[in-house]
Amino acid sequence: MIKGLRTAAYPVTDLAAAKAWYAQVFNTQPYFDQPFYVGFNIGGFELGLIPDGQPATAGSMVYWGVDDIEAEVARITALGATLHHPIQDVGDNIKTVELADPFGNLLCLIVNPHFDRNQVI
């Protein structure tokens, strides 16, 4: 049985710079820090950085939950991200946004009032 999302992995060309940038974005330090992989615990889920990868804004998109999407877009773009696709109301009080990190990957955010943390297994 598939239990749900556990890890979102981003390929990066500069592991040290990506580690520092994501530590600022998520306001936390990695719990696992090796030359071959850096892992952050983000609300019980993992954000992983893989060195020597090929970043891209095409392919799978992982959305990280936020409470105030406008404030987070402002904060993260001030840290060097760029707007890839603007904030969009997708209906039913759900908003999404796509940001491009400084390394060439998408960092997507979502406000979803229907998300129930108690259903995460």
Instruction: Report pTM.
Output: 0.85
Per-residue pLDDT for 85 more than 80? yes
Name the percent of the chain lying above pLDDT 90. 79
Q: How far apart, in Å, are the Cα atoms of 54 and each of 1, 13, 20, 84?
A: 31, 7, 19, 18
Helix (H, G, I), strand (E, B) or coil at 41: strand
Per-residue pLDDT for 99 more than 90? yes
Nearest to 62 by CA among 95, 107, 99, 24: 107
Per-residue model confidence as pLDDT tens digits over 57-84:
887 789 999 999 999 999 999 999 999 9
Q: How many CA atoms lie within 13 A of 70 on its CB side?
A: 1
Q: What are phi and psi of 99, to 5 degrees?
A: -110, 145
